[in-house]
């Protein structure tokens, strides 16, 4: 019997975990995180008044058999966690702030490897950084690729 994989529940568990760990997320950054939402930053324009922001997007899913003949499977859900910050003074300030935010996001997942029981385990597999000049300052974006493994059968 196959079990249903509820993508929205898994995504929302990540959002809840981040919201429950605002103190960790806000360590060493100023101002503090203003919003954590489930959205695609390519289609949802985040107003600069809402920086720093964290966005959560489900990218893809893979399934594999974990045993031969036993019919056991597990799914890996691949999420992108985007952190967006803006600094007026310099590109370096903005870049440093995004690095601190990335560190804090990764720390939340390393300290809660099972996303509060939602998955078997999770791993912040990779992190990418970017920066651009925008009216009024510099905007830095960090993208953390989070892999979440869930047993589904």
DSSP secondary structure, 65-119, as one string: ESSTTT--EEEEEEEEEEEEEEESS-HHHHHHHHHHHHHHHHHHHHH-TTTTTTS
**Which residue positions in the chain have pLDDT lower than 50?**
1-2
| pTM score | 0.91
β-partners of residue 78 are: 60, 147
CB contact at 8 A, 78 and 147: yes
- pLDDT at residue 146, rounded to an integer: 97
Pairing of strands 53-65, 35-38: parallel
Euclidean distance between CA atoms 74 and 62, whole angstroms: 8
pLDDT for position 2:
47
In 10 A of CB 39, how many CB atoms?
15
CATH number of the 7-151 domain:
3.30.70.1700
Question: Per-residue pLDDT tens for 43-70?
Answer: 998 888 899 999 999 999 998 887 776 6
Closest CA to 137 of 98, 102, 93: 93
- Predicted local distance difference test score (pLDDT) of residue 88: 84
Please name which of 13, 36, 121 lies closest in space to residue 44, comparing C-alpha atoms.
36
Q: How far is CA 74 from CA 61, 67, 93, 103, 110, in A?
A: 10, 10, 42, 28, 21
Q: What is the pLDDT of residue 21?
A: 94
What are the tokens at 131? Answer: 């920066």
Would you state the pLDDT for residue 118? Answer: 77
């Amino acid at each position: 019997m196959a079990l249903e994989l509820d993508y929205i529940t898994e995504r929302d568990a990540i959002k809840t975990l981040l919201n429950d760990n605002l103190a960790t997320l806000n360590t060493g950054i100023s101002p503090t995180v203003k919003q954590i939402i489930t959205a695609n930053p390519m289609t949802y324009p985040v107003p600069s008044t809402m920086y720093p922001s964290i966005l959560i997007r489900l990218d893809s899913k893979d399934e594999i058999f974990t045993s031969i003949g036993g019919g056991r499977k597990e799914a890996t859900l691949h999420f992108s966690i985007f952190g967006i910050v803006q600094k007026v003074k310099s590109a370096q300030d903005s870049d440093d702030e995004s690095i601190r935010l990335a560190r804090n996001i990764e720390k939340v997942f390393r300290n809660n490897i099972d996303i509060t029981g939602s998955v078997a385990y999770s791993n912040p597999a990779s992190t990418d950084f970017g920066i651009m000049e925008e009216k009024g300052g510099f905007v830095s974006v960090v993208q953390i690729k989070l892999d979440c493994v869930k047993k589904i059968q």
